[in-house]
Amino acid sequence: MRLTSMHCTRLASSPSSLLTIMSYPGTIILDCVNMDLKIGKATLKDNHYVEKLEALFPDLPSRNDIFDSLQKAKFDVSGLTTEQMLRKDQKTISRQGTKVAISAIYMDMEAFLQRSGLLADLHAFCQAHGYDALVAMTIFFNTYNEPVRQLAVFCPHAALRMTICGILERSHSPSLKLTPVPSSHPNLQAYLQGNTQVSRKKVLPLLQEALSAYFDSTNIPLGQPETEGVSREQVDKELDRAGNSLLSGLSQDEEEPPLPPTPMNSLVDECPLDQGLPKFSAEVIFEKCSQISLSESTTASLSKK
């Protein structure tokens, strides 16, 4: 929904909406990792609107205080089960009935993989929700407050798992700079992700390409959890033959494959604030709130008489 003059009028006359507007800076600051240029998530539009909102509400806490408070709450996964962690921040893609989930995990991959009963939990999660594969992207901040990203692919179907891993490992646009990490868990491949600027949003198109390459390169049914006689080399050859046309033509300038609707994060063309901030000042809002309060007091006084 885009803001109109009618919406602005309603916002100006509603104290609860005022609180909503005042929350916008925190939403942007959190999603853009405190507007850190090294992270690369903040756009010019993000910076523009945060500055405008901060000018409207000068009494808001500092950016660092807002970010630290929200970041602490976001990364607090204490007491959550594995399924709750996977569903906390999850997106899903599908092609021809094959579904792949991708979840953001706010902890170190090593600690995540050491969770008790993890393999059984992952199997149960995929089975309960009809997922053929699960990609977990972990993120946490080290002692120098630098982001650390890791990635794991869980899939009981050997050919599909190898195809997804192959696409992610070979990607140059963007390059994830993946380094395989040994794992004792069957059906799971973990990686260190050298390029920390590649977020889940940028990985989603690669997973779409992986599904396309999978269906173009093999007719192996997904009904069998482990496919006998399928080696990594065989899948690589099939990918080279059938998937090269997809990968060679992939560039950042091309339109990304269509993705299912996702929650809006940074300010994009579909964001309500894309048309600009409502044309009112903080003084106008508080004056209007005072008028409403005075009107309600007068009405209450007359009703008593």
Strand-strand pairing, 178-181 and 98-105: unpaired
Same structural domain, 53 and 103: no
Q: Which range among 39-48, 69-78, 224-233 shows the weakest confidence by mean pLDDT?
A: 224-233
End-to-end CA distance of the chain: 44
pLDDT, mean over the chain:
75
pLDDT at 20 over 80: no
Same structural domain, 92 and 47: no
Indicate whether 89 belongs to any domain. Answer: yes
pLDDT at 15 over 90: no
Most confident of 67-76, 202-211, 223-232: 202-211
What's the number of domains the chain is made of? 2
For 141-168, the pLDDT digits (tens) are: 888 878 899 999 999 999 999 999 999 9
User: Which is more confidently placed, 86 or 74?
Assistant: 86
Distance CA 168, CA 174 (A): 9
- Structure tokens that stand for 164 in this block: 């997804």
Task: Give the per-residue SS3 of 140-187.
Answer: EECCCCCEEEEEEEECCCHHHHHHHHHHHHHCCCCCCCEEEECCCCCC
Last residue of a domain, one of 53, 75, 97: 75
CATH of the domain at 125: 3.10.310.20
Q: Comparing C-alpha atoms, which of 169, 151, 262 is closest to residue 210? A: 169
Same structural domain, 89 and 198: yes
Indicate whether 260 belongs to any domain. Answer: no
Q: Decide if 245 contacts 209 (C-beta within 8 A).
A: no
For 177-191, the pLDDT digits (tens) are: 999 998 878 899 999
Secondary structure E strands in the chain: 90-95, 98-105, 133-141, 147-154, 178-181, 188-193
Q: Residue 272 gets which letter from DSSP?
A: G
Last residue of a domain, one of 157, 189, 217: 217
pLDDT at 104 over 60: yes
User: Which is more confidently placed, 45 or 166?
Assistant: 166
Q: Decide if 207 contacts 222 (C-beta within 8 A).
A: no
Last residue of a domain, one of 161, 192, 217: 217
Distance CA 188, CA 182 (A): 10
Distance CA 103, CA 151 (A): 10
**Quick one: pLDDT at residue 264?**
46
Same structural domain, 34 and 104: no
